[in-house]
Amino acid sequence: MTARRPPVTDWATDFDHTDPQWVADPYPIWEALRTTCPVAHSDRYGGTWLPVRHDDVAAVAYDTEHFTSRSVVVSEVRPGSNDLPAPIGVAPPITSDPPFHAMARRLLLPAFAPKAVEALEPFTRELCRELLDAIEGRDQVDAAVDYARHIPLRVIVKMLGFPQEDADVFRRFIRMVLEDVDMSPEDRQAVEDERELEHYIDARIAEHQAEPQDDLTSFLLDAEIDGQKLEPDHVRGTMVLLMIAGIDTTWSAIGASLWHLARTPQDRKRLAAEPALMPTAVEELLRAYAPVTMARLVAKDFDFHGCPMKEGDWLLLPFPAANRDPEVFPDADQVLLDRVENRHGAFGLGIHRCIGSNLARMELRVALEEWMLRYPDFELSDPAAVAWSAGQVRGPRTIPTRIL
Q: Which residues bind other proteins (CB under 8 A)?
A: 106, 109-110, 112-115, 279, 283, 340-345, 347, 349-351, 353, 357-358, 361
Q: How far apart are CA 323 and CA 255, in angstroms?
A: 18
Residue 145 vs 351, nearer CB to other proteins: 351
CA distances, 290 to each of 106, 179, 250, 351 (Å): 25, 17, 10, 18
The residues facing 183 across adjacent strands are: 2
Q: How far apart are CA 158 and CA 137, in angstroms?
A: 28
Residue 218 vs 342, nearer CB to other proteins: 342
Residue 188 vs 296, nearer CB to other proteins: 296
Of the CA atoms within 13 Å of residue 89, those in its CB half-sphere come to 26
Least separation in angstroms between CB 43 and other proteins: 33
Residue 114 vs 326, nearer CB to other proteins: 114
Residue 113 vs 190, nearer CB to other proteins: 113
> One-letter amino acid identity for 325?
D
Least separation in angstroms between CB 346 and other proteins: 9
Least separation in angstroms between CB 106 and other proteins: 6
Least separation in angstroms between CB 113 and other proteins: 4
Least separation in angstroms between CB 241 and other proteins: 17
Of the CA atoms within 13 Å of residue 88, those in its CB half-sphere come to 14
Residue 114 vs 232, nearer CB to other proteins: 114
Q: How far apart are CA 323 and CA 268, in angstroms?
A: 22
Residue 112 vs 378, nearer CB to other proteins: 112
Residue 64 vs 389, nearer CB to other proteins: 64
Give the dihedral sign, CA 403/172/162/94: positive
Least separation in angstroms between CB 58 and other proteins: 9
Helix H or strand E segment including 400: strand 400-403
> What secondary structure does DSSP assign to 295-352, as a single string?
EEEE-S-EEETTEEE-TT-EEEEEHHHHTT-TTTSTTTTS--TT-S-----TT-SGGG
Buried b / exposed e along 138-147 (16+ C-beta atoms within 10 A): eeebbbbebb
Residue 236 vs 339, nearer CB to other proteins: 339
Least separation in angstroms between CB 110 and other proteins: 5
Q: How far apart are CA 158 and CA 173, in angstroms?
A: 17
Of the CA atoms within 13 Å of residue 323, those in its CB half-sphere come to 28
The residues facing 292 across adjacent strands are: 393
Of the CA atoms within 13 Å of residue 273, those in its CB half-sphere come to 7
Least separation in angstroms between CB 103 and other proteins: 12
Least separation in angstroms between CB 270 and other proteins: 20
Q: How far apart are CA 404 and CA 398, in angstroms?
A: 19
Residue 59 vs 351, nearer CB to other proteins: 351
Least separation in angstroms between CB 283 and other proteins: 7
Q: How far apart are CA 354 and CA 67, in angstroms?
A: 17
Q: If DSSP codes are grouped into helix, strand and coil, which group holds residue 202?
A: helix
Residue 138 vs 343, nearer CB to other proteins: 343
Least separation in angstroms between CB 226 and other proteins: 18
Angle (nearest 5°) at CA 268 between 262 and 251: 55
